[in-house]
Structure 1
Amino acid sequence: MPPPKKPIHIAICGGGLGGLALAIGLLPHPHITFTIYESAAAFGEIGAGVGFGANSHKAIQLLSPALWDRYRTRATFNGWGSKSRTWFDFNVGAGPDEGKRIIEVLMDTKETQSTVHRAHFLEELVAFLPANVAEMSKRVISIEQPAGEQVRILFADGTDARADAVIGADGIRSACRAFVVGEDPALLPRFTDAYAYRGLIPMDEAVAELGEEKARNRQMYLGDNGHILTFPVAKGNIMNIVAFHGTDKAWEGPWVKQDQKEAMERDFAGWGAAPSGIIKVHLPPTSPPPITAHKLTPPSSSNPPTSGPSTNTPPPPPTTALTSPSSATPRTPAPPISAPAPAWPSKTPWSSHGSSPSATAPQTSSGPSRRTMLCACHARRRW
């Protein structure tokens, strides 16, 4: 009989999709305990739709067959069965050939592509976590590793914690990254001379403006200095929009900007019927939506911001259960874990990540919010 494995305690800094997926993957290992430290007051996700390809699907299945079952109840695929192998249809978005299909990019028959609302998937991840494994309102500010001792994590509220290992999943403004790669300005995230408008619109409005095929299946529109992609989420009830635009100007002012309707219309003026239709339903003439940007890395001298049946029928209920190891070390009770956003329709307030632990945004309608994010795109230098 092999000797028992040495107990290991891991600190997971960040309670987004990556941090919670890691936590679920550790549950079957009884010699490993963990604590999730999340900067917000409740679990939540900024953003809207996110896509998962074949490798991501395999990773979810390896983490937990039960999680894969639950993911499938949330996942959205192309709405037409005849488009099940289509990754994206690429279309001319502006100019004399506007509307012409450039190419239909097909996937291998063994591959699949799905999309999901970030908050909906996060809700499923949270449901798999045992009680008392998360501490909220814990924003990491630095990490220390004294010789021969455990790693020490320091938080903004003046407290600290220790662990045998620390895994950073704390996002683009990661405090953990500096501990690993240092604080050289060349290693900081930097503005990539592009930004993106994000948003969600009800599918019935999208279909009325664009038609069934272009609304219910993944599309890409290419134009001068920009591109727009759309895809269905929320089991085909919502169309997700991401509209990218390039710039040769430095990013000025705060990363968070409100009410940018005129800016979006100006950026995509002269584009064709489909892109203009997307903007039309996205920006109704009344009650223009606030458009915001993530405040990622503050500008500084060293880092200037320079036709077929639907395929979205839910699968049968999951038959596999995932439980916490009975031998796990008891942990200090933490505040109750709350999932951020129930499936639409709902009027329940939801929580989102932000620099303020208590940042919340109310869901005030029975459909998707028309709130949009104007996101400054960033990248990390390779080293």
Structure 2
Amino acid sequence: MTVNSSSRHLRVAIIGGGPGGLATAIALSKIPNVSVNIYEQATVLREVGAGISIGSNSWNVLELLGVADTLTSGHPTWVILNMNGRSGEELDRREKPRNLEQRAPVRTQRTKLQSALLAHVKPGVIHLSKRLTRMVDKGKEGVELRFEDGSVVTADLVVGADGIRSVVRDTAWPNYEIKFTGTTIWRALLPWDNVKHLDPRFGITGWWHTPTTHVYFSPVGEGLWEIASRAWQDPATHSANKKSWGVPVDNAHVESHFTEYLPAIREALARVPPGGWREFAAFAGPELSQLTAWDNKVVLVGDSSHALSGAFGSGAGFAMEDGWILAQALAYWKNDTGKALPLFDTIRLPYYSRMYAHLSSEADKRAAKLKGLGNPTFDERVRNKIITDGGKDMSWIYKNDIGAIQYNGSKEAHSSPVRCIR
């Protein structure tokens, strides 16, 4: 990055201290004349969830941020399974090509990624117990942020990194609406030693399916094992009370959704200690036509910008990519948000638009396949929902090199070995 002393001073307020917010702060801290503050509503900064996947795309952006060498824990995921949860039949085995020159794809604890990022955030940047309640557009003076504790700050640029239930998005895009998808997720971590003798396949990352549910198992390193179980119910009749996000839930309630599964799977679920489950209601929202608002004083990163409910299993990677690209756009335009934020839109909007289009296409294909079967059996319905990397070349996501972006001054930006905006 070229240091330019003529760049204007920019006050940036990042709302949310998850991977996207932390990565954005790290990237912005490398730009001259930018002051960064993160405002996080939690009283203690901690991740909610269990495991997280770090693939090639995420490693690429972690390298650019200077964080990759700090993240050292995880379970290599060279092999991914899809299994019939009732019969135990192996439906799909995907073995990723091993390249000794690249870092291994891993499944690790969400807290490990957070700790690695935190190690690179400058002291005094993070402010806890700051629940945003109101944003006011003050024109040329910036954006006024009001918090639940009564404090008020003003920023030249507000970065909404506050997740799928984003207050920033809901304020700047008041007509945007997310809806319950019908899927509820229950997550837990437990010692690998407690379950490893139940089935040798439990040591391989993978999904175990029935037609409307699945159970995801994976080691996550440091002797821990992750369960992420999902069940779908008609959102038309179950949406009213589905507001949960990381709340404790009784073991019996979780286990009641997976009674059709193999005995070893049911036993694994039963070995989660009382209080070990956390429930998450999955929400999603429509594609946005812009990720910037209020005359380029507000920008969205991560799940706030594309409410896809974790559809590609790489949400943290996308959020970190957003933060890095935002920083490079600001550096390129010497902190001129009027030019930098449209550039950010130029790069990231088509990327997320492609994701929405892909999901729609895949859903149509699955529906057409089931319809063609007439009255599909249990096993046929299970085979129709195999989770892979998308059924075709998905390197544009999972091998994305966000550092290889060429911008030629026009309205187009694309991948290239030339890193012109750095």
Unaligned regions of 5+ residues in structure 1, if any? 79-83, 298-383
How far off its partner does 1:280 sit?
A: 3.0
1: CA distance, partners of 2:81 / 2:276: 29
Deviation at 1:2, TM superposition (A): 6.0
**Which one-letter code corresponds to 1:250 in the other structure?**
H
Query: For 2:202, which of 215, 226, 231 is the aligned residue?
Result: 215
Do the aligned partners of residues 138 and 296 (structure 1) sit closer, same or farther apart at CA in structure 2, a change above 3 Å counting?
Answer: farther
Q: Which residue of 2 aligns with 1:26?
A: 28
Contact 2:41 2:131 in 1 (8 A): yes
Shift of 1:76: 2.6
Residue number in structure 1 paired with 2:233: 247
Q: Distance in 2 between matches of 1:183 and 1:272?
A: 46
Matched with 2:126 is: 134
Contact 1:168 1:177 in 2 (8 A): yes
Quote the offset at 1:169 in angstroms.
0.8
Tell me if the contact between 2:249 and 2:275 (Cα under 8 Å) persists in the aligned partners.
Answer: yes
How far apart are 1:293 and its partner, in Å? 3.1
Tell me what 2:159 maps to.
167
- State the alpha-carbon separation in 2 of the partners of residues 92 and 21 from structure 1: 38
Could you tell me how far 1:90 is from its partner in structure 2? Answer: 0.8
SS of match in other structure, 1:28: coil
Q: Distance in 2 between matches of 1:30 and 1:175?
A: 29
**Gap change, CA 1:29 and 1:259, over 3 Å in 2:** closer
| Residue 107 in structure 1 maps to residue 93 in structure 2 | no
**Superimposed CA distance per residue, residues 216-275 of structure 1 (whole angstroms, 9 cap, x where no aligned partner):** 22021111311111111133x111001111112314547456543222232111212342
> For residues 359-378 of structure 1, what are the structure 2 equivalents within 5 Å?
none
Specify the alignment match of 1:314 in structure 2: none
Query: In structure 2, what residue type is equivalent to 1:282?
Result: V
Partner residue, 1:75: 74
Residues 99 and 273, structure 1, Cα contact 8 Å, conserved in 2: no
Q: Secondary structure at the match of 1:207?
A: coil
2:263 is the counterpart of 1:264: no
Counterpart amino acid of 1:50? Answer: I
1:162-191 CA-to-partner distances (Å, cap 9, x unmatched) read: 1110101112321100233x222xx22211
CA contact (8 A) 1:13 1:37 kept: yes
Asked if the contact 1:255–1:293 (Cα under 8 Å) also holds between the matched residues in 2, the reply is no
* Residue identity opposite 1:240 in structure 2: E
TM-score by length of 2: 0.60
Partner of 2:179: 190
265 and 233 in structure 1: CA distance in 2 versus 1, 3 angstrom threshold: same
Contact 2:7 2:32 in 1 (8 A): no
> Corresponding residue for 2:17?
15
Match status 1:228 vs 2:227: no
Q: CA separation in 2, counterparts of 1:224 and 1:278?
A: 20
Please name the residue that 1:149 is paired with: 141
Partner of 1:307: none
Figure out how many residues of one structure are paired with residues of the other and give that number: 274
Q: Given that residues 151 and 166 in structure 1 are in contact (C-alpha distance below 8 angstroms), is that contact kept between their aligned partners in structure 2?
A: yes
Following superposition, the deviation at residue 70 of structure 1 comes to 0.7
SS in 2 for 1:58: helix
Secondary structure at 1:24's aligned position in 2? Answer: helix
1:19 positional shift:
0.5
Normalising to structure 1: TM-score of the pair?
0.66
Q: Matched residues in 2 for 1:152 and 1:51: separation?
A: 36
Taking a change above 3 Å as real, the CA distance of residues 38 and 231 of structure 1, as seen in their structure-2 partners, is: same
1:276 is matched with 266
Alignment of 1:281-360 (within 5 A): 281-282=271-272, 288-289=274-275, 291-294=277-280
Query: Deviation per CA, 1:327-379, whole angstroms, max 9, x where unpaired?
Result: xxxxxxxxxxxxxxxxxxxxxxxxxxxxxxxxxxxxxxxxxxxxxxxxxxxxx
Code of the aligned partner of 1:51? S
SS for the counterpart of 1:30 is coil
SS at match of 2:17: coil
- 1:20-62 Cα offsets, whole Å, 9 max, x none, are 1111112222221101111112211111111122111111111
Structure 1 CA distance for aligned equivalents of residues 168 and 230 of structure 2 = 29
What is the alpha-carbon distance in structure 2 between the residues aligned to residue 19 and residue 29 of structure 1? 16
1:120 aligned onto 2:122: no
Q: What is the DSSP-based 3-state SS (H/G/I as helix, E as strand, rest coil) of the residue aligned with 2:134?
A: strand
SS at match of 1:240: strand
The secondary structure found in structure 2 opposite 1:293 is strand
Q: 1:292 to 1:3 in 2, by over 3 A?
A: closer
Q: Which has the higher helix share?
A: 2
Q: How far, CA to CA, are the matches of 1:119 and 1:238 in structure 2? A: 13
Structure 2's unaligned 5+ residue stretches are 284-422
Aligned to 1:267, the other structure's residue is in SS state coil
RMSD, aligned α-carbons: 2.3
Q: Which fold has the larger relative contact order, with Cα–Cα distance below 8 Å and residues 6 or more apart in sequence?
A: 1
Q: Is the 8 A contact 2:187 2:279 kept in 1?
A: no
Q: Deviations over 1:267-318 (max 9, x none)?
A: 11121234223223236xxxx3364435898xxxxxxxxxxxxxxxxxxxxx
Question: How many angstroms does 1:5 deviate by?
Answer: 1.6
* Distance across 2 between alignment mates of 1:106 and 1:142: 48
Which residue does the alignment assign to 1:305? none
Identity of aligned residues (%): 25
AA in 2 matched with 1:75: G
